[in-house]
Amino acid sequence: MARTATKKPSRKSKPSKTPAKVKKPTKGSRPGVKAAPKSKPAPKARVAASRPSKPAPAPRPAPKAKPRKKLAVDSHPSYQRLIETLKPGRYARGLVFITEPGALDEEMTDWLMGNVDGRRSLGRTAFGEILVFRDLRARAAELGLGDPERESDVALIDIHYKKMRVLSQNVEGFLDALEDPEFQSTFLRKELYEAVRAKVGPPSETECYGFVPALALGGREDVGSVQRLDWKVHQAILIQT
């Protein structure tokens, strides 16, 4: 009989060392994949403590205009020369009536609506316009213009058109121009005056030449439209038209 070969028992393998402990995967991490290290939170930016803003400075109030110093018209050297040179009477061949100083101030005040500081009436023209001396010293001093000690002018209140016109920038110029034919034609209606005087005669001291109908109501500056009228009554009517 054949012998049955007996297998030799294999050598038992030596037991391996204690296996390394496997870390249990944390939640959210995949096995065998190392979880990314947690990033450190960025440091909070330091917020600089805001300083309270200073309130904007309040705007400075505009400097108040210095009130005009009221000066007596009679103290103006040019006014003194004017009334010493032009005594009451007729000038420029009757085109101008010079009155006592201030004699027509009441009528002047009505026409200027009370704005008469530094104003003084001198007389009137043959056609009823009021001549006015204007003391401009206070205005010149306030605005820094001209010669504050002597500034003045001579103006005319045109009662027919309700406006004021400057006849001369100073008294000297007015006195020089008063007898000048060109000045008389430009401001005093010289040609019309001569034609009317030849037709109806010169006006008396209480009269003036007036336009009928009034120029403001469509009247015309011609000989046929002019009449001799009471000056006070005529100017009182015109101021209301």
pLDDT digits (tens, 9 = 90+) for 155-164: 999 999 999 9
Lowest mean pLDDT among 66-70, 91-95, 159-163, 220-224: 66-70
- The closest alpha carbon to 133, from 92, 91, 175, 186, belongs to 175
Question: For residue 140, how many other CB atoms are within 10 A of its CB?
Answer: 17
Model pLDDT, residue 48: 47
**Neighbouring-strand partners of residue 164:** 157
The confidence band for 139, taking pLDDT boundaries of 50, 70 and 90, is confident
pLDDT digits (tens, 9 = 90+) for 35-50: 555 555 555 555 444 5
For the record, the structure tokens of 124 come out as 């009137």
pLDDT at position 1: 42
What is the DSSP secondary structure assignment for residue 92, as one 8-state letter?
A: G
pLDDT for 208 beyond 60: yes
One-letter amino acid for residue 205 of the chain: E
Q: What is the dihedral of CA 219, 92, 86, 173, to 10 degrees?
A: 90
